[in-house]
């Protein structure tokens, strides 16, 4: 399925660039009996609106009809990544410094695989996250290759 997401990324990238938007992620998933092609877009200066999603959906749909890279039937969804936006690219992490994040790792670090806290830094080798355990604040260093999933999160304790 990664070939499909790569192909769709190549098709949608010029569309979002032309509209001065940002491509956040592309997913191709099976849920129940149905396949979904989900494209998440955003703007550099604030929330995306429904008209922008519709523009991308219309132009991408034309490209998908023209190139036909997906053999099975699917539903196309173009939307905002939401408040819990995924962090995938280097620049996503850089923009998230100082923000509350959720990071899941492939293996245990200090006895844990899930970390919620403020992203202090993100460098060539690791991310530093300030987490809270009860009333204590701790800084955890997470090697980049150990990060399985990362996204912005909502701090309900604030």
Which domains are delineated in the chain? 2-79 (3.30.300.70), 90-152 (2.30.30.180)
- State mean pLDDT over 17-34: 94
What span, in angstroms and rounded, lies between the C-alpha atoms of 81 and 40? Answer: 5
Residue 25 near residue 40 (C-beta atoms within 8 A): yes
At 28-47, the pLDDT tens digits run: 999 999 999 999 999 887 78
At 76-112, the pLDDT tens digits run: 999 998 888 899 889 899 999 999 999 999 999 989 9
Query: What's the pLDDT score for residue 115?
Result: 96
């Amino acid at each position: 399925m990664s070939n499909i997401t790569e192909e769709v990324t190549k098709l949608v990238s010029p569309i979002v660039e032309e509209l001065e938007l940002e491509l956040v992620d592309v997913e191709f998933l099976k849920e129940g009996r149905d396949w979904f092609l989900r494209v998440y877009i955003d703007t550099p200066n604030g929330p995306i609106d429904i008209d922008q999603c519709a523009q991308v959906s219309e132009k991408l749909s034309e490209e998908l009809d023209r190139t036909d890279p997906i053999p099975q039937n699917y539903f196309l969804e173009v939307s905002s990544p939401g408040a819990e936006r995924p962090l995938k690219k280097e620049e996503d992490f850089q923009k998230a410094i100082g923000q509350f994040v959720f990071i899941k790792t492939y293996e245990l670090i200090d006895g844990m695989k899930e970390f919620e806290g403020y992203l202090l830094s993100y460098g060539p080798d690791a991310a530093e996250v300030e987490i809270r355990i009860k009333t204590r604040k701790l800084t955890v260093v997470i090697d980049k290759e150990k990060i399985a999933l990362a996204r912005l999160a909502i701090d309900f304790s604030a």
